[in-house]
Structure 1
Amino acid sequence: QLRLKTENRRMKIRDKILIQKYYLNVFNGIFLALGFVLLTFGLWLLFDRNNLFSELFSSGKNQLLAYISCILLGIGSVITFTSAVGFLGSVMEIKCLLVTYMSFQILVFVTQMAISVLIFMKKEEVHNQWNNRIDEVISEYGNESLAEQEPVWNILNAVQHNMECCGRYNVTQWERNKNKENSTQIPCSCTKSSLKKWFCD
Structure 2
Amino acid sequence: MKIRDKILIQKYYLNVFNGIFLALGLMLLTFGLWLLFDRNNLFSELFSSGKNQLVAYISCILLGIGSVITFTSAVGFLGNVMENKCLLVTYMSFQILVFVTQMALSVLIFMKKEEVHNQWNNRIDEVISEYGNESLAEQEPVWNILNAVQHNMECCGRYNVTQWERNKNKENSTQIPCSCTKSSLKKWFCDVPRDSTYSMGCEEYLNTWFENNVLILTAIAISLLITQIFLITLTGQLCRDISKNNIWPNEL
TM class by shorter-chain length?
0.7 to 0.9
Structure 2 CA distance for aligned equivalents of residues 140 and 166 of structure 1: 15
C-alpha change, 1:18 and 1:55, in structure 2 (3 Å) is same
Higher deviation after alignment, 182-191 or 114-123: 182-191
- 1:15 Cα deviation (Å)? 4.5
- 1:138 Cα deviation (Å)? 0.8
The SS at the match of 1:67 is: helix
Higher deviation after alignment, 163-172 or 66-75: 163-172
Structure 2 CA distance for aligned equivalents of residues 188 and 12 of structure 1: 75
Structure 2 CA distance for aligned equivalents of residues 191 and 21 of structure 1: 61
Structure 2 CA distance for aligned equivalents of residues 28 and 72 of structure 1: 19
- 1:165 Cα deviation (Å)? 3.8
Structure 2 CA distance for aligned equivalents of residues 22 and 192 of structure 1: 59
- Structure 2, unaligned stretches of length 5 or more? 190-252
Structure 1 CA distance for aligned equivalents of residues 159 and 5 of structure 2: 58
Deviations 1:34-77 (A, max 9, x none): 22232233234345556433321134322322221221121111
1:37 to 27, 30, 36: 27
Deviations 1:150-190 (A, max 9, x none): 11201222233444443333434333223345555443333
- 1:110 Cα deviation (Å)? 0.5
Structure 2 CA distance for aligned equivalents of residues 23 and 166 of structure 1: 53
Deviations 1:72-95 (A, max 9, x none): 121111111111111222222222
Structure 1 CA distance for aligned equivalents of residues 143 and 179 of structure 2: 10
Q: Higher RCO, 1 or 2 (CA under 8 Å, sep at least 6)?
A: 2
The SS at the match of 2:2 is: helix
Q: Counterparts of 1:163-182 in structure 2 under 5 Å?
A: 163-181=153-171
Structure 2 CA distance for aligned equivalents of residues 186 and 90 of structure 1: 63
C-alpha change, 1:92 and 1:45, in structure 2 (3 Å) is same
Deviations 1:92-146 (A, max 9, x none): 2222211111111111110011111222232233222211111110111122333
- 1:16 Cα deviation (Å)? 4.0
Number of equivalent positions: 189
C-alpha change, 1:166 and 1:87, in structure 2 (3 Å) is farther
- Structure 1, unaligned stretches of length 5 or more? 1-10
- TM-score, normalising length from structure 1? 0.78
2:233 maps to: none
- TM-score, normalising length from structure 2? 0.64
Structure 1 CA distance for aligned equivalents of residues 54 and 42 of structure 2: 14
